[in-house]
Chains A and B, each alone.
Chain A
Amino acid sequence: MKKITLPLSIVAIIVASLSIYLSQKSSELVYVDVNKLLEGYKRTKIVRGEFEVKAKTLKSNVDSLVTGWQKELKDYEKNRSKYSKKELELKQELLGNKQQQINNYQQAIQNQVQEEDKKATQTVINDINDYVKAYGKKKGYKIIFGASGSGNIMYAGETSDLTEIVLEGLNKEFEGK
């Protein structure tokens, strides 16, 4: 009987300390800085780069249309003394219509650029959300706060900040390491 008591008590101590450690960890209050994650995540730069190329192409289409219209306007102003009254009216109407068309196109392009931006940002946010969820589950955290720098976490000790660890893991996963 005495022989069993010692190993049993050792096992009990180990189990107790392990459960205390695990319960402490799961109830620990931790956070990640979402802005830092967005900035530091390598996919953000790539997605942003792709978006900028798309936006630039769309905007350059608008610019070339505007330049063409401005040229026509200049020609009209230069030669308006040569036109008859009817020709002037027709020219004005044509220029007005064209301006309206360009404005509509410009508006549509702006909307498209905003939509592309929204899609690109959401992709990165999805990645971060997925990783943080999986990380929290794996490490046994009950809750991980997302600080965004606007004051929702006023103070936290250094050990509560998981941003760097999460960022490192997130980038590793993205790079397929």
Chain B
Amino acid sequence: MKGNNPFYFIIKCQTQFIEANLRFLLFVAIVFFSSCSSKSFDTKEELWTYLKDADNGYFQQKNINGYDFSLLYKPTDLLVEQELGKNKTKEKIKELREKYEQYMYFTLSMSRNNKELLSSTPKNRQEFGAMVNQLAFGMREKVHLYTQKKDTLEMLDYNYPRMYGMSQSTTMLFVYPRDKKYLKEEYINFTIQDLGIYTGEVKFKIDLNKIKSEPNIKLY
């Protein structure tokens, strides 16, 4: 009886169609959420390994005229973990996350033949002095972070630790505000103007989706 009823056939077809659509939507939702959700790591070492893999989008490097430039985005949890030490209470973690997530941290490394700039570039005492001055006090004028529409984010601070030739690269930490109004586009530009080493302006494009869904550490 059921098999001969045309209404029953239409209802059955509609149910099958809805079921198929629901399955498809569920599949799309799973794919979407799994791609958007941020990754979690048990230890900071695991997070470092993930960050250092250029395919994951947090680390970029280029070589221009013999100089190696690399840029790494440091997720909030790396700084939280660094300050946290052994005092791993939920309150403290929350407090530190709230403190550091207001900013974006970038580590810029520059080297030539695996040596610091100061050990490999200046040809005389005068050039050495000029470069020390540039690196220690003048990077605000040389490094810029700006959006696709050319809105520049103000650099809040930068830190250049002198390593006196003991390091393989000149490494600096730059701090910028995590201002949501500047994070709506596809990417943001990080540029380093020529430091007198004939590299021209060096630019890194940072995928903002990566920053929005940055990886974290399971701190508790």
> B200's contact among A123, A173, A176, by CB below 8 Å, is which?
A123
> A176's contact among B65, B148, B194, by CB below 8 Å, is which?
B148
Interface residues of A in 116-159 (CB under 8 A from B): 118-127, 130, 134
Q: Chain B at the A interface: mostly helix, strand, loop or mixed? A: loop
Chain A neighbourhood of B65, CB < 8 A: 122
Interface residues of A in 5-24 (CB under 8 A from B): none
CA distance A134 to B199 in the complex (A): 20
Complex interface bits, B145-189 against A, C-beta within 8 A gives 1, otherwise 0: 001111000000000000000000000000000000000000000
Residues of A within 8 A of B (CB): 115, 118-127, 130, 134, 173, 176
Complex interface bits, B61-74 against A, C-beta within 8 A gives 1, otherwise 0: 00011000000000
Chain B neighbourhood of A121, CB < 8 A: 200
Interface residues of B in 187-201 (CB under 8 A from A): 194, 198-201
Tell me whether B44 is interfacial, beta carbon within 8 Å. Answer: no
> Would A119 and B198 count as touching, CB distance under 8 A?
yes
Closest to B197 in A: A119
Known: A122-B65, A126-B64. A176 touches B150 (CB 8 A): yes
Chain B neighbourhood of A120, CB < 8 A: 200
Complex interface bits, B115-153 against A, C-beta within 8 A gives 1, otherwise 0: 000000000000000000000000000000001111000
CA distance A151 to B147 in the complex (A): 39
Shortest distance between the CB of B127 and any CB in chain A (Å): 12
Shortest distance between the CB of A108 and any CB in chain B (Å): 13
> Would B198 and A127 count as touching, CB distance under 8 A?
no
18 A-B pairs whose Cβ atoms sit less than 8 Å apart in the complex: A118-B198, A119-B194, A119-B198, A120-B200, A122-B64, A122-B200, A123-B200, A125-B200, A126-B64, A126-B200, A126-B202, A126-B203, A127-B201, A130-B203, A130-B205, A134-B205, A173-B148, A176-B149
Shortest distance between the CB of B187 and any CB in chain A (Å): 10
Known: A122-B65, A176-B150. A127 touches B194 (CB 8 A): no
Chain A neighbourhood of B150, CB < 8 A: 176
> Would A115 and B201 count as touching, CB distance under 8 A?
no
Shortest distance between the CB of B71 and any CB in chain A (Å): 13
Shortest distance between the CB of B68 and any CB in chain A (Å): 14
With A119-B194, A122-B194, A176-B149 given, name 17 new contacts (CB 8 A): A119-B200, A122-B64, A122-B65, A122-B198, A122-B200, A123-B194, A123-B201, A126-B199, A126-B200, A126-B201, A126-B203, A127-B203, A130-B203, A130-B205, A173-B148, A176-B147, A176-B148
Chain A neighbourhood of B148, CB < 8 A: 173, 176
Chain B neighbourhood of A115, CB < 8 A: 198
Closest to B194 in A: A119
The 8 A-B residue pairs with the shortest CB-CB distance in the complex, in nearest-first order = A122-B200, A123-B200, A123-B201, A119-B194, A176-B149, A176-B150, A126-B200, A176-B148
Closest to B148 in A: A176
Interface residues of B in 21-75 (CB under 8 A from A): 64-65
Closest to B149 in A: A176
Shortest distance between the CB of A149 and any CB in chain B (Å): 22
CA distance A124 to B149 in the complex (A): 19
Chain B neighbourhood of A176, CB < 8 A: 147-150
